């Protein structure tokens, strides 16, 4: 029995457009309209999950779906960096965060902690049959791709996730595989 998992990235927010670390904020009006357009192109899902943040909840609603909030799909905790742009951060703290996956100079969640949380969710989901559609955040999607590919921590920084982008995985109940597919 196979399972499928489609991760949908939340729509853009004001922080996305400013290049800032997000807070729990609403989607931009244009993102709501884009999500509504995407709604008809999504594959049918047996279950819908989403992160608890407002932007995830609003994305699910704009897609015309109803889902269950799953804590493991929450965005990375950026601590004191939430709402701030890269240019506003101490360069040494930023360099430490990017180069050491165990470091969280912002007082939030380290990359290692994020990867562990997302890997645990993927492992728990291996036995699910059918299709799960999950609305979540770029950091969670990057961590999932790295977990499935067994990529080193630095691979996280090489995964580019755009708002409302889809990332697909398939499972044979033993492992997840990244699936590159057309709409």
Superfamily of domain 3-179: Phosphoglycerate mutase-like (3.40.50.1240)
Q: Where are the domains of the chain?
A: 3-179
Hey, what are 135's tokens? 């609305």
Check residue 147 and give its pLDDT: 98
pLDDT above 90 covers a percentage of the chain that reads 93
Q: Supply the pLDDT for residue 2.
A: 85
How do beta strands 3-9 and 130-136 pair? parallel
pTM value is: 0.95
Distance of alpha carbon 144 from alpha carbon 48, whole angstroms: 17
Helix (H) or strand (E) holding 27: none
Please write the tens of the pLDDT for every residue from 123-182: 999 989 999 999 999 999 999 999 999 999 999 999 999 999 999 999 998 999 999 876
Q: What is the mean pLDDT of the chain?
A: 95
Average pLDDT over every residue of 63-71: 97
What average pLDDT does the segment 3-21 reach?
A: 94
- The model's pLDDT over 34-58, given as tens digits with 9 standing for 90+, comes to 999 999 889 899 999 999 999 999 9
């Amino acid at each position: 029995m196979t399972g499928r998992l489609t991760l949908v990235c939340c729509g853009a927010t004001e922080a996305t457009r400013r290049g800032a670390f997000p807070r729990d904020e609403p989607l931009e009006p244009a993102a709501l309209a884009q999500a509504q357009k995407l709604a008809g192109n999504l594959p049918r899902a047996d279950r819908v999950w989403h992160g608890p943040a407002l932007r995830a909840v609003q994305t699910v609603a704009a897609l015309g779906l109803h889902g269950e909030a799953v804590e493991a799909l929450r965005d990375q905790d950026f601590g004191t960096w939430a709402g701030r742009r890269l240019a506003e951060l101490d360069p040494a703290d930023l360099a430490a965060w990017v180069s050491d996956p165990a470091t969280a100079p912002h007082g939030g969640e380290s990359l290692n902690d994020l990867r562990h949380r997302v890997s645990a969710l993927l492992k728990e989901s291996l036995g699910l049959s059918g299709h799960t559609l999950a609305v979540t955040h770029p950091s969670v999607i990057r961590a999932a791709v790295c977990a499935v590919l067994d990529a080193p921590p630095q691979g996280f920084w090489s995964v580019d996730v755009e708002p409302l982008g889809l990332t697909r995985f398939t499972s044979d109940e033993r492992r997840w595989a990244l699936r590159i597919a057309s709409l």
